């Protein structure tokens, strides 16, 4: 894979955004946003900026037609020092996946803001797909599988937006779990986080209502991975059944974890749902339009059609 950056030609549109990261060729983000812009009657586009070059991006964002960017790995942390302000979500999670622009009231100078719409994508994926949140997950423990940035976003969404009573953390690496707990605690939402390391521990704990899986789709191989899978399956087997959001959707949103969960009687929410709702939230910042105005059904249809090209049915 070449690391040489191709700078997109943005001259044909009135406004533009970027998807900035590396590698990003598989991303459906530009398709998602193009569908929204067409539905709103806007001559806008989001362009791939597949690059490791932060300085280049900082130059490109000065274009008066630039409205913002989806910021993905490996730039979600590196972008922080290049922003004028953060929303509460971005400050709490400690990572930015969205840049947007606001004008300073006194001077009219453009300010570059960062937010994290991943937390909104997680929240809305549940609320748009679960008919009775009170029965399913409100007031019940939540469960997060994984230890990276998506796991932090999941903890924030469960704790501050979805009424989780406590949150169990399941992961192969105890040091990663400790890092999540320490960071979330330092940022004010780390109370009632529980590292669940063994099946024996899981068996004694209350069943969960909402699960967010933030790990790649591959079978467990090491002893630590196998233990984490068994802990997860212990919670699936409890009498309390709720909903699981499987954040992994590449190369396919129907993963091994999704299949196991469905067999165990759980409501499975595919990761494409979180991707769609975080994208809608991004365009709320960029266009100033309310999400209710956006072509949500057409976005779902466009993503489903794209996946069907690769033999995936939603």
- Residues of the chain above pLDDT 90, percent: 88
Q: What is the CA radius of gyration of the chain?
A: 20
The highest-level CATH class for domain 15-116 is alpha beta
Sign, Cα dihedral of 137, 141, 146, 148: positive
Per-residue pLDDT for 3 more than 70? no
Say if CB 47 and CB 291 are below 8 A apart: no
Write down the CATH superfamily of domain 120-271.
NAD(P)-binding Rossmann-like Domain (3.40.50.720)
Q: Write down the domain spans for the chain.
A: 15-116, 120-271
Sign, Cα dihedral of 129, 213, 120, 242: positive
User: Which ranges of 100-210 does DSSP label H, i.e. alpha helix?
Assistant: 118-127, 133-136, 149-161, 174-186, 199-203
CA distance linking residue 208 with residue 137, whole number of Å: 7
pLDDT of residue 303: 95
Tell me: the pLDDT tens digits for 25-67? Answer: 889 999 999 999 999 999 999 999 999 999 999 999 999 999 9
Q: Per-residue DSSP letters for 245-263?
A: EE---SS-SS-HHHHHHHH
Return the closest-CA partner of residue 125 out of 269, 234, 307. 269
Q: Do 15-116 and 120-271 fold alike per CATH?
A: yes
Contacts of 20 (CB under 8 A, 6+ apart): 49, 51, 57, 69, 70, 71, 72, 75
pLDDT of residue 308: 86
Tell me: the pLDDT tens digits for 203-222? Answer: 999 999 999 999 989 999 99
Per-residue pLDDT for 2 more than 60? no
pTM as predicted: 0.93
Structure-token match 């169990």, residue found: 168
Query: Predicted confidence band at 314 (pLDDT cuts at 50, 70, 90)?
Result: low
Q: How many residues does the chain have?
A: 314
Phi, psi of 119 (to 5 degrees): -65, -35
């Amino acid at each position: 894979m070449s690391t040489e950056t191709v700078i997109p030609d943005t001259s044909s549109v009135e406004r533009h955004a970027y998807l900035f990261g590396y590698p990003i060729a598989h991303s459906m983000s530009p398709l998602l946003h193009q569908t929204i812009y067409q539905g709103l009657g806007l001559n806008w586009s989001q362009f791939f900026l597949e690059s490791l070059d932060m300085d280049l991006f900082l130059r490109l964002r000065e274009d008066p037609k630039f409205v913002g960017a989806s910021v993905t790995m490996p730039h979600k942390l590196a972008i922080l020092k290049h922003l004028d302000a953060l929303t509460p979500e971005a400050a709490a999670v400690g990572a930015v996946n969205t840049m947007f622009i606001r004008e300073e009231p006194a001077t009219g100078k453009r300010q570059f803001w960062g937010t994290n719409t991943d937390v909104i994508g997680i929240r809305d994926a549940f609320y748009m797909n679960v008919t009775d949140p009170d029965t399913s997950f409100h007031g019940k423990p939540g469960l997060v599988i994984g230890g990276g940035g998506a796991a932090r976003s999941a903890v924030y969404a469960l704790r501050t937006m979805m009424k989780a009573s406590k949150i169990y953390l399941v992961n192969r690496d105890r040091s990663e779990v400790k890092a999540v707990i320490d960071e979330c605690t330092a940022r004010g939402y780390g109370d009632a986080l529980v590292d669940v390391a063994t099946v024996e521990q899981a068996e004694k704990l209350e069943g969960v209502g909402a699960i967010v899986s933030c790990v790649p789709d591959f079978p467990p191989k090491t002893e630590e991975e196998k233990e984490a899978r068994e802990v997860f399956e212990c919670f699936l087997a409890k009498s309390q059944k709720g909903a699981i959001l499987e954040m992994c959707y590449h190369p396919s949103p129907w993963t091994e974890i999704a299949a196991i969960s469905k067999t165990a009687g759980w409501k499975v929410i595919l990761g494409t749902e979180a991707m769609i709702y975080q994208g809608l939230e991004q365009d709320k910042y960029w266009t100033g339009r309310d999400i209710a105005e956006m072509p949500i059904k057409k976005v779902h249809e466009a993503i489903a059609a794209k996946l069907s090209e690769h033999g995936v049915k939603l």
